[in-house]
Chain A
């Protein structure tokens, strides 16, 4: 690698004009990155602003970056029924339980599959990895979950499928790989069993890995709407936050598209501001938490990038 760079560099014959080109790049960089970052953040600002704007102003003038008249009506409407707090509790419970269980299983599996002396490591690794190469598809999965496992309208249908993925197990394996094999060996010499070695020697060294993979799991649970849309029908009263949001959006669409739409008064259609207040409440915690956990995601992406 380094040799190739040197060669390329020599070929370039490097004409000297230090300074100006760096200034151009840097100046362009500041302008471009600022513009790009603004594009990333403005949609969020519009959502927050809309949630604080009264419905009549939105209808008359459209959504704005800065609310013209500040009002909390939308939030009062969202929190009035109390349903959103139940969704919060459900989502938090799912996130905590799912992350804890999933993380324990992923950590154990990742360690066992990284043990060089484990006779079945290749077979089991392939067994897990194959599921990312070939899938049965949605229809057989749906039929299995509903007609054989009878998980329709059951929270387990949302909780279980998100526990782990081949990618997360491979990511864990890559983290474990960095721990020297001698640590396991020394544990063996001291007469510790495999489980003891794992919990007492390996786990403490896996803290950054646990943080990273735990966060990927938690993010998956918090943002979950897909399994819910498959398996949770209207018979289920309390639904995960993002799925509640999804239903509000779909309700608006359905009412607008329906043939009977003309007989429905505007009051029945969820208002824009209420939709946005819901969106802010459902997403707020993750956006607020995110700057503090960003570094763990970054390490996860770089460790898992290639063999993902």
Chain B
């Protein structure tokens, strides 16, 4: 095997670039549409990052507008905007990642203990359902439950003699609400991976434990959780790699353009979207976007380096 590989490498290195192209022209052609796609939609916008360093106006375009260096960034830093957005984005993501994985493991373990087949199947299907709907519908569902006039929750509150609750006018309620909504939508999806990992545990190990007299709690504590540990660690690490990337669809469809809630719900993505689409302030939007991309890039690289140290098979590159 090793010899064959060495030989192959040697043969390869003897070919010139054009010989390689000629030899693999069909395979290259097969990749061409995808390469063009990423060139057109992912690489082509990159020179446009320049807009973050100019005072953009329509007439002169991205590259003709006046260069102002780091002024766009300066404004964002001194106004404290960048700090607020980063804090909101990171804190929400931390809560999403930690609670999300905890609940997913919890649900997967409980599902695995169920013996009634139809119950297992039906409940799994239902728990997975919220993942399949559009974020627009999630926004509508939440509004339907929580709005002041006709909301389901307020219907229950008034019928029990309590005062009406007005979450759409109070920013303080949303950190908890957002986390609950996120868990509601994503746990079914997240638990699938853990459920599959539990199914992959050698059934002989579990049988042997039973023979040795391990009870249900011990089985979970000493067999299932330890075998899930690598999966949990890897998934947590990769999730942390995306910690500065916000869940735009979720936040925008729930909060929309309701300024009363911005103090606790404005994340990097929602700010960039409004700056681009409502204010047409492309320079500020791009400055925030570039800041996010650079920080995100550094974090992913770090995470990948850590993963490579502990579990080289799972590293991204």
Contact = CB atoms under 8 A, between A and B. Distances in A.
Interface of A: 1-2, 4-6, 8-9, 11-12, 14-22, 24-26, 28-30, 32-34, 36-37, 39-41, 43-44, 46-47, 50, 58-59, 61-65, 105-106, 108-109, 111-113, 115, 117-120, 124, 126-129, 131, 133-144, 147-148, 160-161, 163-164, 166, 169, 193-195, 198, 219, 222-226, 229-230, 242-243, 245-246, 249-250, 253, 257, 272, 275-276, 279, 282-283, 286-287, 290-291, 294, 297-298, 301-302, 305-308
A257 B259 CA distance: 11
Given A63-B152, A140-B49, A143-B48, A294 B125 contact: yes
Interface stretch (B86-94, B171-179, B288-296): B288-296
A144 B48 contact: yes
B226 A124 contact: no
24 contacts: A5-B205, A14-B214, A33-B127, A36-B123, A36-B127, A40-B129, A44-B129, A46-B141, A46-B152, A62-B151, A118-B24, A119-B15, A127-B35, A131-B42, A134-B296, A134-B297, A136-B46, A136-B289, A137-B289, A141-B41, A194-B27, A225-B249, A283-B134, A305-B235
Contacts, number: 337
Given A127-B38, A136-B293, A242-B136, A12 B221 contact: yes
A182 B61 CA distance: 55
B160 interface: no
B119 interface: yes
Contact of B27 (A20, A32, A115, A163): A115
B140 interface: yes
Contacts of A144: 44-45, 48
A249 to B, nearest CB: 6
A128 B38 contact: yes
A301 B209 CA distance: 30
A120 B155 CA distance: 62
B113 A26 contact: yes
Given A144-B45, A225-B136, A283-B133, A9 B293 contact: no
B76 interface: no
Given A12-B214, A306-B314, A137 B205 contact: no
Given A62-B158, A64-B155, A222-B134, 11 more contacts: A5-B226, A6-B205, A19-B215, A25-B113, A41-B126, A109-B34, A115-B27, A133-B296, A136-B49, A225-B136, A290-B125
B141 A129 contact: no
Interface of B: 8, 12, 15, 20, 23-24, 26-28, 30-31, 33-35, 37-38, 41-49, 51-52, 61-62, 107, 110-111, 113-115, 119, 122-123, 125-130, 132-137, 139-141, 143-145, 149-152, 154-155, 158, 184, 187-189, 192-193, 196, 202, 205, 208-210, 212-218, 220-223, 226-227, 230-231, 234-235, 238, 248-249, 253, 256-258, 269, 272-273, 275-277, 282-283, 285-286, 288-290, 292-293, 296-297, 300-301, 314, 316-317
A48 to B, nearest CB: 11
A43 B145 CA distance: 7
A275 B140 CA distance: 9
Contact of B31 (A26, A30, A124, A279): A124
B81 to A, nearest CB: 16
B276 A138 contact: yes
Q: Would you call the interface of chain B mostly helix, strand, loop, or mixed?
A: helix
List the 3 closest pairs (A to B, CB-CB), nearest first: A137-B289, A140-B48, A62-B155
Contacts of B23: 119
A257 B256 CA distance: 12
B42 A135 contact: yes
Contact of A47 (B107, B140, B273): B140
Given A8-B223, A61-B155, A225-B136, A22 B126 contact: no
A151 to B, nearest CB: 11
Nearest to B220: A25
Given A14-B218, A127-B35, A47 B144 contact: yes
